[in-house]
Amino acid sequence: MRPDSSWQPPIRRPRRLRQNETIRSLVRETSLLPSQLVLPQFIVEGHDIIEPIEAMPGRCRLSIDRTITECKQAIALGVKVFALFPRVPDSLKTNDGQEALNPDSLVNQAIHAIKENCPDACLVADIALDPYSAVGHDGLVSPQGKVLNDETVKVLAQMAVNHAQAGADIVAPSDMMDGRVGAIRSALDHAGFTDVAILSYTAKYASSFYGPFRQALESAPVDAPNVPRNKKTYQMDPANSREAIIEAMLDEAEGADMLMVKPGLPYLDIITTLRSRTQLPIAAYHVSGEYAMIKAAGRLGWLDEKACMQESLIAIARAGADIIFTYAAMDYARWWRESQA
């Protein structure tokens, strides 16, 4: 078919830069290295324990010895940062979450052991009370059912020092209490831990994508009188974006070293917004629900798991995240290594 005589070939042809993989790689705008990933790990008491998490295919609750093995495997792939989350026995859960301050807690035992066996590992200690709480909230809950802010902040500051004493490199308050970053920074500095960094969960939304994580830790709010059924009085409303800027500016002023947006994919706009407002490193959490959906669809043959997982993580990086917490960290690192061969 002859073209219309009035038609003129385009001068600019963007497809010139897409015609083969070598050229596409040459002009690729976003790269994501395994060294930018953080692998969350679920730790349980005991020895030689591997407990598969039904809602998170490929991820397990591991005893400390098995966690060390996984750390070594991840480090060999280029993933060297690990976020530790304990499955605390119900017998140790209390309304005041005091097990979080135990110098010999499960997390502290893990920090000691991993540091001894994996000196290159960088360890992130989660700072929130929900794994230790008998009622499943990130903060202390009053008899009337109110999540208490200032009283919780005092405990969180002690918790941060406790984990720093064990050897944590980074503490990551994920609780969303007001003023906790400043209190933690002050407590760390007064205890002599001026080099311990704070990665603040700055914009943590009251998301429905956290379900598999709460199953893994059995840390969801309990159904009991005078216990809030959700975390909406402290986690952010998914409808809000300007509020994230307020939280970020407060956390930066209080001494945060890095800022977190959680979840990842449903909040790419928040990542981009914060990237334009701060010079601090931005982390994003590719959460359990996001991971589980891709895994489940991949197993059913509805999606290409590898392609969709890679695309999701690259999208988070493209939006402006420097660091990504993801349960697919080791998978991605293997795929990345294969692509470099």
Give which of 163, 202, 148, 156 is closest to 180, Cα–Cα: 156
DSSP 266: G
Question: pLDDT tens for residues 285-334?
Answer: 999 999 999 999 999 999 999 999 999 999 999 999 999 999 999 999 99
Residue 115 appears among annotated catalytic residues: no
Architecture of the domain defined by 32-340: Alpha-Beta Barrel (3.20)
Mean pLDDT computed over every residue of the chain: 95
The answer to whether the peptide bond before residue 103 is cis (omega within 30 degrees of 0) is no
All structural domains of the chain with their residue ranges: 32-340
Q: Is the pLDDT of residue 251 over 90?
A: yes
Alpha helices in the chain (DSSP H): 21-26, 64-77, 106-117, 149-166, 180-190, 211-217, 242-254, 268-277, 288-299, 305-319, 329-340
Q: Which pLDDT band, with edges at 50, 70 and 90, does 224 fall under?
A: confident
For residue 335, the model assigns a pLDDT of 96
Residue 216 or 180, more confident = 180
Question: Percentage of the chain surpassing pLDDT 70?
Answer: 99
Q: Is the pLDDT of residue 218 over 90?
A: no
Residue 204 appears among annotated catalytic residues: yes
Give the integer Cα–Cα distance in Å for 85 and 148. 23
User: Which residues are registered as beta bridge partners of 261?
Assistant: 203, 284
For residue 3, the model assigns a pLDDT of 59
**Of 80, 93, 231, 262, which one is the catalytic site residue?**
262
Give the integer Cα–Cα distance in Å for 136 and 131. 7
Tokens of 262: 């959680």
Give the C-alpha distances (Å, rounded to integers) separating 276 from 123, 320, 321: 28, 9, 11
Spatial neighbors of 45 by CB under 8 A, at least 6 apart, are 63, 89, 106
- H/E segment holding residue 202: strand 197-204
DSSP SS3 for 24: helix
> If you average pLDDT over residues 57-67, what whole number do you get?
97
Phi, psi of 11 (to 5 degrees): -75, -45
Number of CB atoms found within 10 A of residue 1's CB: 3
Q: Is the pLDDT of residue 1 over 60?
A: no
DSSP 201: E
Q: Is the pLDDT of residue 100 over 70?
A: yes
Tokens of 219: 């840390």
**Of 93, 204, 231, 295, which one is the catalytic site residue?**
204
For residue 93, the model assigns a pLDDT of 94
Q: Provide the angle, in degrees to the nearest 10, between the axes of the packed helices 64-77 and 106-117.
A: 40
Angle ∠(243,248,249) on CA atoms, nearest 5: 100
